[in-house]
Amino acid sequence: MDFTDGRLVFRPGDDGYDAETAGFQTGFAQQPEIVFAASSTDDVVAAVSYAADAGLPVGVQATGHGLPGAAEGGVLISTRRMDSVRVDAAARTVTVGAGVRWGQVVEAAAEHGLAPLNGSAPSVGAVSYTLGGGLGVLAREFGYAADHVRWLDVVTADGTLRHVTAESEPELFWGLLGGGANLGVVTALEIGLVPVARVYGGAIEFDGREVDPAAVLRAYEAWTRTVPDEVTSSVAALVYPDLPQLPPQLRGRYLVTVRVAYTGSEAAGERLVAPLREIGPMVSDSLREMPYTESHTIHSDPDFPHSYYGDSVVVRELDVAAACELFAMTGPAAEKMHVVQINQLGGALAKPAGNAVPYRDAGWLVRVLSPLDGTDLDAVRAVQARAFGLFAGEGRLLNFTFAAGDRTDGLYDAGTRKRLAELKATYDPANLFRRNYNVS
């Protein structure tokens, strides 16, 4: 490492380079020409200016859950040191820096009886998640995280720091929220909080070898037709590998899990979930009232770096027969492990919100994530292509294209894509930022 104009940078071969480029996703290696370890907005401005002068592409990374493919051979801006969190309890807002993780925000907001619209994993970066839309634990009641942003500070390709609001630069504001990191580097944003201090939620697990997964799916889909918008839920299935690192009760087991979050009372929650408990014998039932700081336990996402590849499809109506076929092809008969998750959308997610988050009319999100350790990538891609081919999908969601930014088709409807292309021509005509999609 060295200090370029007083700034911390890393180049290939430097001590610390590998650590700075590593992230939560371990399946794809990055080799940027230079890494700017940003601690301030000035550092970001310097990095973008350097890249523009050198004609190099720019990628941005906070946690590395999704890798910025644009950084290959170019400039990587590491923002993890920009981790300030400031809550304004009276205004019900929080200001977060580019490197902040959701767990920090949840804890800070909880001190005031408030909650952000965070996702299921505390280790995910708050800014990148929000720029991609942000489908969270309370999504059906409150909408996407992007719907609640008040302002953003962004460094555009010309090295200019802009304070962007819906009033000051309405078109750029629209495009940044849902358009991802393709129009600049967001160094901070202010987002609204919601008055939620506790939640009724958890998961019910069924053994997929004892209870027919198709029966779980049919019962779950029917149940979602009866619940209010205050219920956000999903159903997931996976065969756990028989590994000594796992608890004995999970090794080799095929579990089908229904996950629920509800902001109503515990008594009302118990009444709502009663039909789910009647589906069949349960392996476990963690549904309970909990402080919002424990909401991550509803999904219990892995908290350790690992290798994975995943994608998604959004559909207006869930084809239950297709979903059953998906569970069958990724279940115990599959050659490799796959994690399937189906989220009910609708509710507040369907409301127009003045941003570029697409497919508001979708009722469901179908996701498949495949671990890559010791697995042929082409084989995984083939399985996922067959899986998503089962559905008459509208498109895909940016935040669930898990890999290294190599797939761009279907991320936006035609109208949104055209409007983003016009913004790209205005703010980044040289295509400096190329993360995840390219609308030029």
Encoded amino acid at 295, one letter: S
Q: How far apart are CA 80 and CA 395, in angstroms?
A: 31
Q: How far apart are CA 16 and CA 32, in angstroms?
A: 13
Give me the pLDDT at residue 3, please. 47
Encoded amino acid at 221, one letter: E
Give me the pLDDT at residue 73, please. 86
Residue 42: partners with Cβ closer than 8 Å, 6 or more residues away: none
Give me the pLDDT at residue 435, please. 53
- Phi first, then psi: give them for residue 292, nearest 5 degrees: -60, -25
The series of mean pLDDT values per 10 residues for the chain, 440 residues long, is 69 94 87 96 97 94 81 91 98 98 98 98 97 97 98 98 98 96 96 98 97 98 98 97 80 95 98 98 97 97 90 97 98 94 98 96 97 85 95 94 75 94 94 62
Query: Both tokens of residue 61?
Result: 């990374």
Give me the pLDDT at residue 201, please. 98
Give me the pLDDT at residue 26, please. 86
Residue 114: partners with Cβ closer than 8 Å, 6 or more residues away: 87, 89, 92, 193, 194, 195, 196, 197
Give me the pLDDT at residue 65, please. 87
Instruction: Give me the long-range contacts of 303-307 (CB less than 8 A, separation at least 24).
Output: 303/121, 303/122, 303/123, 305/22, 305/23, 305/24, 305/25, 305/26, 305/64, 306/24, 306/25, 306/26, 306/27, 306/371, 306/373, 307/25, 307/26, 307/27, 307/371, 307/372, 307/373
